[in-house]
Amino acid sequence: MPSELETAMESLIKVFHRYATQEGKTRTLNRKELRELMENELSNFLKSQKDPAAVDRIMKDLDTNNDGQVDFEEFVSLVVGLSIACEQCYQVHLKKK
């Protein structure tokens, strides 16, 4: 039986590939696929941005090799950054208790 962390990693991989296989290249996200992933899987984060160009800005930041696509490694950097921000909020919440 997989551990909680192993299950979380598997979920992350499955979500990425569910959106990456929608169009064209099957190992990367194009702008449309990234937008769809974020709207469906990170909707609370996206709503908090209050910037219609947020996905475009995020796409530009993630696409470190400038190929117009976001591969899994580039995508993971988004997840890591969001996880760090969430953990910091969690720490603030714990201090208030």
What mean pLDDT comes out for the span 40-50?
A: 82
pLDDT in tens, 2-33: 999 999 999 999 999 999 988 878 899 999 99
Q: Is residue 31 within 8 Å of 56, Cβ to Cβ?
A: yes
pLDDT in tens, 69-81: 999 999 999 999 8
Question: Which residue from 79, 35, 83 is spatially nearest to 59, judged by alpha carbons?
Answer: 35
DSSP letter for 26, please: S
Q: Domain ranges in the chain? A: 4-96
Percent of the chain with pLDDT over 70: 100
Specify the length of the chain in residues.
Answer: 97
Phi, psi for 28 (deg, rounded to 5):
-140, 160
CATH of 4-96, one of 3.30.70.20, 1.10.238.10, 3.40.50.880, 3.40.1410.10: 1.10.238.10
pLDDT attached to residue 15? 97
pTM recorded for the entire structure: 0.84
* Exposed/middle/buried for residue 22 (C-beta within 10 Å: 0-12, 13-18, 19+): middle
- Catalogue the E-assigned strands of the chain: 28-29, 70-71
Q: Is residue 75 within 8 Å of 62, Cβ to Cβ?
A: yes
